[in-house]
Amino acid sequence: MFLLNRHPDHGKPLDPVDAQTLGVAAACEVERFLTHRHDHAETPLHALPGLAAELGVGAIHMKDEGFRLGLGSFKALGGSYAVIRLVLEEATRRLGRSVDVGELHDPAVSAIAAGMTFACATDGNHGRSVAEGARRVGARAVIFVHSRVSARRLAAIARFGAEIVRVDGTYDDSVVEAASVAAAKGWTVVSDTSWPGYERIPGLVMQGYTAIVREALHRIPAPPTHVFVQAGVGGVAAAIAGHLALVLGDRRPVFTVVDPARAACLYESAKAGHPVKVAHGEPTVMAMLECHEPSPVAWRVLARAADAFMTVDEADAIAVMNRLARPVGADPAIVAGESGGVGLAGLICAVAIPDVRARLGLDAASRVFVVNTEGATDPERYQELVGMSPADVAAGPYSTTQPSESLAS
């Protein structure tokens, strides 16, 4: 399914709050915070010339977030960053002076952090980021997970010392439960989705994601003409689309949001012209995108900055995992989890349909940017779907175990 953005706000400037959240100054602040992390390294940006030739476009570049901060997904940038910002703000309030990130382990700041509890709901990756951030600052984390979260992903969260609370139902049910329990106990919710009266913290989470596109723009030979980014509640898509709109202005790329067909809340919202909650049905293999209601903040950005919305099927997601694991020609092998390559799957589907290709203006001169949002965060599931272990893929003839050279050098 495919549709162009017909919202009345399409093409208009971002809301001033969103422009401040996703602009250059905010992105620079994220970069500054990252320099204080010993485990920070810029993630690889891979050129895929073989696939570009196969699809009839000029170039494809993929940002590989499977390497981000040792957590295996782009979510490492959001929850942890928000937790650290909130601790510093609380320390500033209580100590009566400005407290910066370099003072994070000052005894007075650590004592304040130790009395704070952060809660969130998760499909797996966001909870891992919040738990890691809480451990980094010495705070407590309570992570609410729904019944479909795999044991492997639970273990990955628990290793950071977080308390795990199981919730019957879906991701959306766990969001409600986390907010309810946190309100009753005085905890701070660090959610990657927003709701009325709760926007600033999800905005901080989205702000963390701007590092992805900022790093890419530093390295890519020329700004992209087209971008395809997958969406759950819409946070990473909105962060990338919003930042590109602010930085590139009239030169911004054609931006397409890609949903799983079984959890197409942003596609249906675009179709309706306002945020829509879609019915829960059969689970999708794209587990990290299995969200049935968009974040209002993300929708507000995407209504303005996204140009098209589309869906991909289960087979499309699995096929792109296998295509990236078994590259053709000079393309590198890339480990992409079940949700990681969905933006690329959207591109592959789009070029295969002449009408969609024409409406997006995809041709031999197009420069396409996509994001591998996660590596094999559930290695057993990855091997089941790809037929190789992540280690076998990474050890292939075009191993991606080290960041690629700067494409601009």
Quickly count: other Cβ atoms within 10 Å of residue 287's Cβ: 25
CA 334 from centre of chain: 17
Q: Using CB atoms within 10 A of its CB, is residue 98 exposed (0-12), middle (13-18) or buried (19+)?
A: exposed
Of 18, 64, 123, 192, the active-site residue reads 123
- Give CA separation, 374 vs 67, 184, 222, 335, 341, in Å: 8, 34, 25, 8, 8
Tokens for 171, please give them. Answer: 């991701």
- With beta carbons less than 8 A apart as the criterion, state whether 137 and 113 touch: yes
Quickly count: other Cβ atoms within 10 Å of residue 375's Cβ: 24
Q: Are strands 254-260 and 226-230 parallel, antiparallel or unpaired?
A: parallel
Backbone angles phi, psi at 285, to 5 degrees: -65, -25
- With beta carbons less than 8 A apart as the criterion, state whether 190 and 83 touch: yes
Tell me the C-alpha distance between 295 and 246, whole Å.
20
Query: Is there a catalytic annotation at residue 12?
Result: no
Query: Is there a catalytic annotation at residue 75?
Result: yes
Quickly count: other Cβ atoms within 10 Å of residue 155's Cβ: 10
Tell me the C-alpha distance between 380 and 389, whole Å.
8
Tell me the C-alpha distance between 348 and 55, whole Å.
7
CA angle 404, 406, 407 (to 5 degrees): 100
Tell me the C-alpha distance between 370 and 226, whole Å.
9
Tokens for 286, please give them. Answer: 């794209």
CA 238 from centre of chain: 9
Quickly count: other Cβ atoms within 10 Å of residue 283's Cβ: 14
Tell me the C-alpha distance between 143 and 114, whole Å.
17
Tokens for 91, please give them. Answer: 């320390």
Chain position carrying tokens 């994001």 = 371
Tell me the C-alpha distance between 252 and 307, whole Å.
11
Tokens for 260, please give them. Answer: 């799983």
Of 63, 75, 259, 307, the active-site residue reads 75
Active-site residue list: 75, 123
